[in-house]
Chains A and B, each alone.
Chain A
Amino acid sequence: MVSIKVLLFATFRERYDTKEVSLVFDGSLEGFLEALSKRFGREIVNDIFDSEVKRFRNNLIIMINGRNLKDIKEEVKFKDNDTVAIFPPVAGG
């Protein structure tokens, strides 16, 4: 089992009224989504993950330990003490 930190930002923070939460699960992607769902409800999984194509939604910014998921070529797996940060589509200058 692994224990990770999930950080929510912007509209996610507002919608789920949470800045930060710890999750304990088996380290797999499925385990992560299941743990998220248990904590916040099924809605959050739908918000961030497209179960039809089995990928995280393309317009989000999701980082594991500061590295964007889209730059990680390997299969998504979680280690103990990982930090996952979830942002809606944002930009600035």
Chain B
Amino acid sequence: MGKVGVIDLTDKTVKVEGICEDYAKKYLGGKGYALALLYEYLKEYEAKGNAAKDLNPLGPENVLIFATGPGTGIAGFPSPGRYHVMALRSPLTGSIGSANSGGEWGAFLKFAGFDALVIKGASKEPVYISVVDGVIGIHDASSLWGKTTFDTDSLLRKEVGGKNVSVACIGPAGENLVPMAGVVNDSHRAAGRTGLGAVMGSKKLKAIVVSGSAKVPIANETEFREASKEAYEKERNNSVTSSGLPTYGTAILVNVINNAGMLPYKNWQLGYNPEADKISGETITKDYLVKKRPCWGCNIACGRVTSVKSGPYQILITEGPEYESVWALGNSTGVMDITAVTKANHLCDELGIDPISTGSTIAAAMELHEKGLIKDEDLQGMDLSFGNAAALVESIWRIAHKDGFGKFMALGSRRLCEIFGAPELSMSVKGLEMPAYDPRGAKGIGLNYATSNRGGCHVTGYTISPEILGIPSKIDPLTVEGKAQWVKAFQDFASVVNSTVNCLFTTFALGASDYARLLSAVTGVQLTEDDLMKIGERIYNLERFMMSKYGFTDKDDTLPSRLLFEPMPDGPVKGQTVDLETMKKDYYSLRGWVNGVPTLAKLKELEIEL
């Protein structure tokens, strides 16, 4: 039977609880299970006479949960190395905090004897948590405070030792409560989005190190082996999972999305960059790739180990940059020097900061400067112009340390642009900076960005897959009809995969029926494709309901005015804007929501107990 560690950093107490079977059946694990637990904590907070709207994301009342799922840590389950982090509230968006990461930490938490860790309260002094062979400890971390994620990782590995060690930690950005700070594990993987590194920092929690050799039980070994064989066969026969991703990594998308005219360039002013090939997956593979690197147990191996052998941005060894990093740090800022982009990405890992939000915020600052709203004297000597590689690299450090102009950029693009008088230049939704696809070229992803519970996010409902890549089938990206169905289906299924806690990239080859077969074998509970999609819908609605308590409504399901009202100036989708209202109407009708909030009838239908 699985275990959940509940750690109170105020009282410095540790409790071990069993998995709640009812929650496991209704929410699977991972994100869903964590959400169910968070809802209990939210009700507890309200029962003390507090209003949910007053919950401080950086206060001790915020709760952080690191969770694995029934698909994690099992050799033979597709891409089983991940973990999901949830918080009652994100310091960047004010909505639910949610982020997901690969590497080894998720699998090794299971081997350390736990399915999830709940972290409440806050310590007065820096601490780290150890989870070793079933025992949880809280330790003094004063000698680690101030250190980068790389140094923290190697020091704690030596300190704790043992079999299957992995470290998830924060760097200076999280310690400094930068709202874009992420949680970094295995040095180059991160639960980057929504500022969960700052939540850790507010609790003075420097790191969680896990180690152990517990075996993860499987209910029906014979059936699991058959299901696993079938799943791996499908991945082998799929060109994306067997060839595209392992050969080139995710940055192969740069040229695809650019040629489709929707690779946001210079803070989304344009959608086509004639020089994009300089920062593409082809260029990285040809000149900088050392080898591919899989997460634990993964057959796809999209990870890139890279090296910049010479020049001012030399790096002995690093990982990435991924597509999103290359875009945010490179194309959005206009920096076409891939070595500088790789260095900036490396610094994001080292200092513990989300490259998407960081790159996008720097790009917003560049446009504010271009328009004369940020003056030279504000910048204290830094030339924050589009394309300036040195300014890009310097900015990463300044943001993580809230130093110089970095103290403004560290706030994220929404607050930065508000302060400097042009809020419309923040290319974000609910305060979370949008990723690398301009919805003027693919309307469905626009609807997804607007309705994604955690803010401007693509993986919440990756309709780029059918709209641009043609997976599982091709739909016209420029129409709005039928997009609501696709967005809902992708959002619900992604909720499932984030709750079994496996990699979304498996879904290029596998569907809900494959997951149902695998999960039935692992858990011994018979699940169908329909069961899983209903669970996904339940998770999505619970999250949306909780957000509504913070004040989120349909008014927050929107896009920046640039995408709604400024036609794309040129390129293949010249003249396009996003007709969001039509898609939103369809979407809310499909979801059973009124004003962006699930009705009580919908919550009852989904068996969400209030």
A residues near B (Cβ < 8 Å) are 7, 9-11, 13, 19, 58-59, 61, 63, 65-68, 70-71, 83, 85, 87-93
Contacts and interface: CB of A to CB of B under 8 A. Distances in A.
Given A92-B249, A93-B504, 7 more contacts: A9-B252, A9-B255, A71-B474, A87-B255, A90-B240, A92-B253, A93-B462
Contacts, number: 96
B250 A93 contact: yes
B508 interface: yes
Given A10-B248, A13-B282, A91 B572 contact: no
Most chain A C-beta atoms within 10 Å of own C-beta, residue among B239, B249, B323, B478: B239
Interface in B359-414: none
A92 B435 CA distance: 12
B469 interface: yes
A10 B470 contact: no
Most chain A C-beta atoms within 10 Å of own C-beta, residue among B255, B272, B504: B255
Nearest to B256: A87
A5 to B, nearest CB: 11
Q: Closest 10 interchain pairs by CB? A: A66-B572, A92-B250, A89-B239, A92-B253, A90-B244, A70-B474, A92-B323, A91-B240, A85-B259, A66-B261
A93 B322 contact: yes
A74 to B, nearest CB: 14
B138 interface: no
A71 B243 CA distance: 25
A13 B458 CA distance: 28
Most chain A C-beta atoms within 10 Å of own C-beta, residue among B244, B245, B468, B504: B244
B476 interface: yes
Contacts of B537: none
B253 A67 contact: no
A89 B324 CA distance: 19
Contact of B281 (A10, A67, A70): A10
A89 B508 CA distance: 11
A66 B251 contact: no
A67 B462 CA distance: 20
A45 to B, nearest CB: 19
Nearest to B259: A85
A90 B249 CA distance: 9
B277 interface: yes
Nearest to A7: B259
B305 interface: no
A92 B327 CA distance: 12
Contacts of B465: 91
Contacts of A9: 252, 255-256, 282
Nearest to B322: A93
B509 to A, nearest CB: 10
B282 A63 contact: no
B256 A90 contact: yes
B277 A19 contact: yes
B244 A91 contact: yes
Contact of B240 (A65, A85, A89): A89
A63 B573 CA distance: 13
B608 interface: no
Contact of A65 (B245, B468, B572): B572
Interface residues of B, number: 44
A93 B477 CA distance: 17
B448 to A, nearest CB: 14
Interface string B279-322: 00110000000000000000000100000000000000000001
Contacts of A59: 239, 470
28 contacts: A9-B252, A9-B255, A9-B282, A13-B282, A58-B470, A61-B256, A61-B469, A63-B260, A66-B260, A66-B272, A66-B571, A67-B572, A70-B474, A71-B474, A85-B255, A87-B256, A88-B239, A88-B243, A89-B239, A90-B245, A90-B469, A91-B508, A92-B251, A92-B302, A92-B323, A93-B250, A93-B459, A93-B504
A35 to B, nearest CB: 20
A93 B272 CA distance: 19
A11 B239 CA distance: 12
Interface in B215-273: 238-240, 243-245, 247-253, 255-256, 259-261, 272
B505 interface: yes
Contacts of B478: 71
B244 A61 contact: no
A61 to B, nearest CB: 6
B434 to A, nearest CB: 14
A66 to B, nearest CB: 2
Nearest to A85: B259
A58 B473 CA distance: 10
Contacts of B302: 92
A5 B251 CA distance: 23
Contact of A88 (B244, B462, B505): B244
Interface string B502-529: 0011001000000000000000000000
A63 B244 contact: no
A89 B260 contact: no
B243 A89 contact: yes
A87 B474 CA distance: 15
Most chain B C-beta atoms within 10 Å of own C-beta, residue among A13, A59, A89, A91: A91
Most chain B C-beta atoms within 10 Å of own C-beta, residue among A67, A83, A92: A92
A81 to B, nearest CB: 14
Contacts of A66: 259-261, 272, 571-573
B19 interface: no
A64 to B, nearest CB: 9
A70 B467 CA distance: 10
Contacts of A70: 470, 474
B609 to A, nearest CB: 34
Nearest to B280: A9
B573 A92 contact: no
Contacts of B324: 93
Contacts of A10: 244, 247-248, 252, 255, 281-282
A91 B472 CA distance: 12
Contact of B471 (A85, A87, A91): A91
Nearest to B469: A91
Contact of B248 (A7, A61, A68, A90): A90
